[in-house]
Amino acid sequence: MIKNLKRRLLGSPIASALAHSERINKRRALAVFSSDALSSVAYATQEILLVLVLAGGAALSYSIPISGAIICLLFLVVVSYRQTIREYPNGGGAFSVTKENLGPSWGLVAGAALLIDYVLTVAVSVAAGVAALTSAFPSLFQYKITICAVAIGVLTIANLRGVRESATIFAFPTYGFIVGILSMLAIGTYKLYTGEFTHIDPPATEGLEPLTVFLLLHAFSSGCTAMTGVEAVANGVPVFQPPESKNASKTLIIMACLLTTMFFGITYLSHYHGIAPNEQETVLSQLARSIYGSTWPYYSIQILTMGILFLAANTSYAAFPRLGSLLAKDRYLPRQFASLGDRLVFSNGILILGVVSTGLIYLFDADTHALIPLYAVGVFLSFTLSQAGMLRHWERSRARGWIRHAIVSGIGMTVTAVVTTIILTTKFTDGAWLITIAVPALIILFRQVHHHYLSVGKQLSLVGVDPKSLPHELKHTVLLPISGVHRGVIEAMRYAQSIATDVRAVYVEIDKESTERFQQDWQRWGRGVPLVVLRSPYRSVVTPLLRYIDEVEDSNQDDMITVIIPEFVTAKWWQQFLHNQTALIIRAALLFKRNKVVTSVRYHLD
Amino acid sequence: MIKNLKRRLLGSPIASALAHSERINKRRALAVFSSDALSSVAYATQEILLVLVLAGGAALSYSIPISGAIICLLFLVVVSYRQTIREYPNGGGAFSVTKENLGPSWGLVAGAALLIDYVLTVAVSVAAGVAALTSAFPSLFQYKITICAVAIGVLTIANLRGVRESATIFAFPTYGFIVGILSMLAIGTYKLYTGEFTHIDPPATEGLEPLTVFLLLHAFSSGCTAMTGVEAVANGVPVFQPPESKNASKTLIIMACLLTTMFFGITYLSHYHGIAPNEQETVLSQLARSIYGSTWPYYSIQILTMGILFLAANTSYAAFPRLGSLLAKDRYLPRQFASLGDRLVFSNGILILGVVSTGLIYLFDADTHALIPLYAVGVFLSFTLSQAGMLRHWERSRARGWIRHAIVSGIGMTVTAVVTTIILTTKFTDGAWLITIAVPALIILFRQVHHHYLSVGKQLSLVGVDPKSLPHELKHTVLLPISGVHRGVIEAMRYAQSIATDVRAVYVEIDKESTERFQQDWQRWGRGVPLVVLRSPYRSVVTPLLRYIDEVEDSNQDDMITVIIPEFVTAKWWQQFLHNQTALIIRAALLFKRNKVVTSVRYHLD
């Protein structure tokens, strides 16, 4: 039944032989890999304004230069990433690049930062998507957490079905959003210049804080969330149709241009329409409403915004399990993350991502602004590491033009390192401190897992062992604990006699009379198996049995002891509770003892 | 560690040989068995007033005749129960008496009614006890649910330690309560007659309902909660020191006299002090406060009330597990309820009682008045059945004076039957309807369990079977699923070879190259065991294996197949998650198939 449900939800399994056909073209790739970056325009402007408004309404105009600075930063990173894509056609994620060039330790730092970043991408994007919805339909505001959880559930299932199908499902909203926002910006600008709208001054609220450099940097670092997701293309190079690098590089450039236009346009128009952030309605919704009024184009913008944000979350569903599998292949994560599921996707990574991001949604009450401070630290940390890795790469390779490339990477590295520091400093008390705990914690986890696998490998290794040196024969004693004679016991006894010659029935005496009655039964049914009677003054069945097992072990060194337990399989599951759970207790008690095997011989009841 | 904690909480195990010494004398018996009945004076008067006040303040004076009627009813039941105790020295609970005389079907009705009653005794008594506490210390009102849960937890642990120790712990509060209430009543009456208090009229509130016969009957049935617990002595006869019947009978009479005095005294004085029920403070607390003021005697009364109410809950901890064990011995409840635990108590019954009553406390928000309608139905139903059983008993035995005895039982039966009907009718919509569902539901459960045990007994029975007719030899195939060669596999292979001659290693091919590499390894390490390679186009390990097992089964009829799985035992529990859970999946998949045994050969890692 569970199997059936799984088939319904996820589709039939896909054979391994079909693996290569699961590639996507540029158009689809833009939908899958660029939505994260593009969708951040839905909240980046708002995050800048939310910081600036602390210094009063007049400070809001600083949003224009701050956006300019962020766009410069974006192009710096994009140029640097194009180099990476060309050099790493098999996937130039920050993890691989850092690991290969700066060594595994730095690779783990990048890996931890990215894993956290992907989880936050899902949480932030879904929360922002639902905020777009509740801005348009305020009556849904109270259900926001539930809507977020359902959205994550749908994304998880879609991704468990496989990458090509999810690209098909999600291609429409990306293009819808791009067209929607660009046309809205065009109409808004046109209306502004024809004088249909006059410049509205921002509300003249009093500032709660002075307009300091720290505040401006804080606003800048909030706006840097606009850049999250840029690295997704580099990670996903191998999924592109050949020529992979070229297609990926082109997709990256298109994405950056679209992002710049939309982000700057929204910030600019919001400023000229005098929009101030407010808790109930997003900045983008206010802008759309002031351009269109509450008409159908306004509602379309909101729905499209929600669509691309959910799609942005989907970017992580491509990136997170892929990175997880890389880490697992290097034995830094449990091996379950490395194996492809039924549908040729890394199912375990997808499931974990769904669960953890839903948890974050609950913890932070589905509030985008509360989640943002955790975000971006990881992204910029991995930008920095990736470019540091590239710098090292050029320095080592000394291929034609390496100096020019190294300069690009070096500038990129320096600038992103500075930005990382700014983000961490200005947002530390808002929640960024959590990241300073989470990254080291993940690294410790990676190391522990790695250490375990290495140690197991060493313990199990047969290198240098001569097959003939291993002992061939095994001595074997079988114990059969019983409390009476019935068909189940007869079955267990037959099994016991078939696997060993030294079989002993063990009976625990609770009261004398029953023992005598049992001994008579045994005369008749015991098939010549010797009977051991153990006293139990405290009525426990398990304790005397364990003591006897120890005795047997002490008398026969180097022996294997198998405990065979007659067990019932009832026709209905609840009936199982009507029988003693002795088998379970014995199994648990012997779990950590060597040379003991516990075998249940099941007797099936109707 | 768990074992150690258990010892600390519950004490060392008590040997079976010490069972007989766990008897209690009259003084201790009064503490254990009478506290339920006595403690009900803490809420019975209040329950009467809460109904009467619906017809306005003037109606409260009806509490006096209603209490009189309840006291008459009590003596009727006590006289009838003395007969039962004499006739059933081995425990004359409603269940045994009904079963023996009216047959097992009626016995189950009584059993179900009593089990429910015991659970409610715990819930009501603990809730009322905490209400006594919060009446004195209103700041604790908000924590009432937590306090209730802690109280039930303490009671559960105390009872898991054993009956003698709990009698010792609890003897003081019963006697303290008796002395406290009687002296308070004496002082209150004295002050009333010396004129220090004048008669205060009850508050002249308007009635919400007219004063109908139905309302009076409703008040009467609410007051009948005063009688709950009277049957506990009859149930517990075998725990008394010999002569059991005589001691139990005396205890019952003493209890009834104390109950009458206190119940009537409280009702009478409450009336003359013009006390009306209110949500924040119990009636008894108001009375004590009006007699003593907020001085230490008042606080003592409240603490003693709480003490005896917790002790009343304790009555059920003696009665519920005992009844559960009787039902389990008759195979109407899981056999786990029939066995004595480490400390010579029926541990499972005690635990279930603790859990279920805590659940009721949460569901009903620890509100005595909300729980009361569920109560008393079960008690009076079992009174009726028990006396009907006695009537039948006298009729059958025709011993000397049987007609006199039969008349007593007959009157008792008729009156309690009428009272049961009154309670059920007047309180049906308040919650008594739940009992009309719960009793049949429990009876269905009993019957299902019974049916299962009988059917299992029949299936397992060896009656009429000739030992020589059973086949002696068993054919055996051992399958060893492996994915590589390492020390764990070598161990499993040695074990496999020691239990059978037909051993086959099974390898599931995920990709061709690994298979070839593996086959080479097998040449060297395979110890001559034949290797079966299974193709798996969908990368599943388990599906091809299960298909192969079916094939083997089809080719060798009447064969036993043992699947041996090399499993790791890691040094730390969390490391277990780092290994594939294939063993678990195979075990689950084969659970419901016949003639399959799954054996894990564990390899211990450091």
pLDDT in tens, A404-442: 999 999 999 999 999 999 999 998 888 889 999 999 999
CATH number at residue A549: 3.40.50.620
* Domain count for chain B: 2
pLDDT of residue A172: 82
B548/A contact by beta carbon, under 8 A: no
Residues B34-61: pLDDT tens digits? 888 899 999 999 999 999 988 888 888 8
Classify A597 as helix, strand or coil: strand
DSSP class per residue in A59-112: GGGGHHHHHHHHHHHHHHHHHHHHHHHHH-TT---HHHHHHHHH-HHHHHHHHH
Residue in A461, A537, A578 closest to B453 by CB: A578
DSSP class per residue in A337-388: GGS--TTSS-HHHHHHHHHHHHHHHHHTTT-HHHHGGGTTHHHHHHHHHHHH
* Higher pLDDT, residue A429 or B7: A429
pLDDT of residue B21: 52
What residues 484-523 of chain B have any CB closer than 8 A to a CB of chain A? 485-488, 490, 494-495, 497-500, 510-511
Name the band, by pLDDT with cuts 50, 70 and 90, for residue A169.
Answer: low
B17/A contact by beta carbon, under 8 A: yes
pLDDT of residue B74: 92
Q: Is residue A414 part of a domain?
A: no
Asked whether residue B207 carries a pLDDT value surpassing 80, the answer given is no
For residue B530, give its domain range.
Answer: 468-604
Number of cross-chain residue pairs from A and B with Cβ atoms under 8 Å apart? 165
Name the band, by pLDDT with cuts 50, 70 and 90, for residue B158.
Answer: confident
Same domain, A244 and A352: yes
**Residue B509 with chain A: CB contacts under 8 Å:** none
Same domain, B34 and B180: yes
User: Distance from B109 to chain A by nearest Cα, in Å?
Assistant: 21
pLDDT of residue A15: 65
Q: Is residue B472 part of a domain?
A: yes
CB B134 within 8 A of CB B140: yes
Same domain, B413 and B487: no
CB B339 within 8 A of CB B208: no
Residue B265 Cα distances to B131, B184, B228, angstroms: 21, 10, 18
pLDDT of residue B600: 86
Question: In this structure, what are the phi and psi dihedrals at residue B282, rounded to the nearest 5 degrees?
Answer: -70, 160
Q: Looking at residues B128-143, what average pLDDT do you find?
A: 92
Rounded to an integer, what distance in angstroms lies between the CA atom of residue A602 and that of residue A569? 6
Asked whether residue B20 carries a pLDDT value surpassing 60, the answer given is no
**Residue A459 with chain B: CB contacts under 8 Å:** 487, 605-606
Across the interface, whether the CB atoms of A498 and B474 are under 8 A apart is answered: yes
Name the band, by pLDDT with cuts 50, 70 and 90, for residue B530.
Answer: very high
**Residue A524 with chain B: CB contacts under 8 Å:** 467
Q: Is residue A10 part of a domain?
A: no
CB A351 within 8 A of CB A10: no
Q: Looking at residues A449-467, what average pLDDT do you find?
A: 86
Boundary of a domain, candidates B419, B449, B479: B449
Q: Is residue A11 part of a domain?
A: no
Give A561's strand partners: A477, A596
Question: In this structure, what are the phi and psi dihedrals at residue B532, rounded to the nearest 5 degrees?
Answer: -110, 125
Chain B residue with CA closest to A523: the answer is B467
Q: Is residue B463 part of a domain?
A: no
Across the interface, whether the CB atoms of A495 and B474 are under 8 A apart is answered: yes
Same domain, B436 and B474: no
For A141-179, give the secondary structure using H, E and C: HHHHHHHHHHHHHHHHHHHHHCHHHHHHHHHHHHHHHHH
DSSP class per residue in B485-531: -SHHHHHHHHHHHHH-SEEEEEEEESSHHHHHHHHHHHHHHSTT--E
Residues A311-369: pLDDT tens digits? 888 888 878 988 898 899 899 999 888 877 766 678 889 999 999 999 999 999 888 88
CB A524 within 8 A of CB B467: yes
A575/B contact by beta carbon, under 8 A: yes
* Least confident piece of the model among A143-157, B10-24, B158-172: B10-24
Same domain, B395 and B542: no
The terminus-to-terminus CA distance of chain A in angstroms comes to: 21
Asked whether residue B235 carries a pLDDT value surpassing 80, the answer given is no
Q: What is the ipTM of this complex?
A: 0.72
DSSP class per residue in A219-244: HHHHHGGGGTTTTHHHHTGGGBPSSH
Beta strands A475-482 and B475-482 are unpaired
User: Distance from A24 to chain B by nearest Cα, in Å?
Assistant: 22
pLDDT of residue A20: 53
A592/B contact by beta carbon, under 8 A: yes
**Residue B570 with chain A: CB contacts under 8 Å:** 452, 456
Same domain, B349 and B391: yes
**How many CB atoms sit inside 10 A of residue A238's CB?**
14
B466/A contact by beta carbon, under 8 A: no
pLDDT of residue B168: 67
pLDDT of residue B301: 93
Question: In this structure, what are the phi and psi dihedrals at residue A91, rounded to the nearest 5 degrees?
Answer: 110, 105
Classify A483 as helix, strand or coil: coil
Name the band, by pLDDT with cuts 50, 70 and 90, for residue A390.
Answer: very high
Residues B431-472: pLDDT tens digits? 889 999 999 999 999 999 999 999 888 888 888 787 777 776
Residue in B474, B495, B525 closest to A462 by CB: B525
A455/B contact by beta carbon, under 8 A: yes
- Going by C-beta distance under 8 Å and a sequence separation of 6 or more, which residues neighbour residue B381? B109, B110, B113, B420, B439
Beta strands A596-604 and A559-569 are parallel
**Residue B499 with chain A: CB contacts under 8 Å:** 476, 498-500, 562
**Residue A577 with chain B: CB contacts under 8 Å:** 334
Across the interface, whether the CB atoms of B460 and A603 are under 8 A apart is answered: yes
Boundary of a domain, candidates B420, B449, B478: B449
Across the interface, whether the CB atoms of A14 and B538 are under 8 A apart is answered: yes
* Least confident piece of the model among A11-20, A282-291, B263-272: A11-20
**Residue A13 with chain B: CB contacts under 8 Å:** 538-540
Alpha helices in A280-295 (DSSP H): 283-292
**How many CB atoms sit inside 10 A of residue B173's CB?**
23
Chain B residue with CA closest to A337: the answer is B578
**How many CB atoms sit inside 10 A of residue A540's CB?**
16
CB B205 within 8 A of CB B57: yes
Q: Looking at residues B521-537, what average pLDDT do you find?
A: 87
CATH number at residue B128: 1.20.1740.10
**How many CB atoms sit inside 10 A of residue B182's CB?**
14
Question: In this structure, what are the phi and psi dihedrals at residue B565, rounded to the nearest 5 degrees?
Answer: -120, 120
Residue B272 Cα distances to A258, B63, B224, angstroms: 87, 11, 22
Question: In this structure, what are the phi and psi dihedrals at residue A565, rounded to the nearest 5 degrees?
Answer: -115, 125
Rounded to an integer, what distance in angstroms lies between the CA atom of residue B196 and that of residue A542? 69
Q: Exposed, middle or buried by CB within 10 Å (0-12, 13-18, 19+), for B592?
A: exposed
Asked whether residue A219 carries a pLDDT value surpassing 80, the answer given is yes
Q: What is the mean pLDDT of chain A?
A: 86
Q: Is residue B315 part of a domain?
A: yes
Residues A77-96: pLDDT tens digits? 999 988 888 888 877 778 88
Dihedral (CA of B358, B363, B365, B368) sign:
negative
Q: Is residue A417 part of a domain?
A: no
The residue of A345, A482, A499, A592 whose CB has the most chain B CBs within 10 angstroms, and thus the best one to mutate to test that interface, is A499
Residue in A460, A560, A606 closest to B459 by CB: A606
pLDDT of residue A18: 55
Q: Looking at residues A102-130, what average pLDDT do you find?
A: 93
The residue of B575, B585, B586, B592 whose CB has the most chain A CBs within 10 angstroms, and thus the best one to mutate to test that interface, is B575
pTM for this one?
0.71
**Residue A472 with chain B: CB contacts under 8 Å:** 494, 497, 527
Residue in B339, B486, B578 closest to A462 by CB: B486
Rounded to an integer, what distance in angstroms lies between the CA atom of residue A94 and that of residue A413? 12
Residue located via tokens 């309404």:
A57
Residues A42-69: pLDDT tens digits? 999 999 999 998 888 888 889 999 999 9
Same domain, A325 and A356: yes
Name the band, by pLDDT with cuts 50, 70 and 90, for residue B487.
Answer: confident
Residue B491 Cα distances to B567, B578, B598, B600, angstroms: 10, 21, 16, 11
Beta strands A559-569 and A475-482 are parallel
**Residue B604 with chain A: CB contacts under 8 Å:** 592, 594
CB B480 within 8 A of CB B529: yes
Asked whether residue A166 carries a pLDDT value surpassing 60, the answer given is no
User: Distance from B596 to chain A by nearest Cα, in Å?
Assistant: 8
Question: H or E element: which one contains B476?
Answer: strand B475-482
Same domain, A493 and A436: no
Q: Is residue A3 part of a domain?
A: no
Same domain, A174 and A99: yes
Asked whether residue A529 carries a pLDDT value surpassing 80, the answer given is yes
Rounded to an integer, what distance in angstroms lies between the CA atom of residue B359 and that of residue A24? 55
Same domain, B405 and B298: yes
Same domain, A439 and A514: no
What is the tally of helices (H) and strands (E) in chain A?
Answer: 22, 5
As given in the structure block, the two tokens for residue B483 are 């994915």
Across the interface, whether the CB atoms of B472 and A494 are under 8 A apart is answered: yes
Asked whether residue B123 carries a pLDDT value surpassing 60, the answer given is yes
Across the interface, whether the CB atoms of A485 and B462 are under 8 A apart is answered: yes
Same domain, B198 and B314: yes
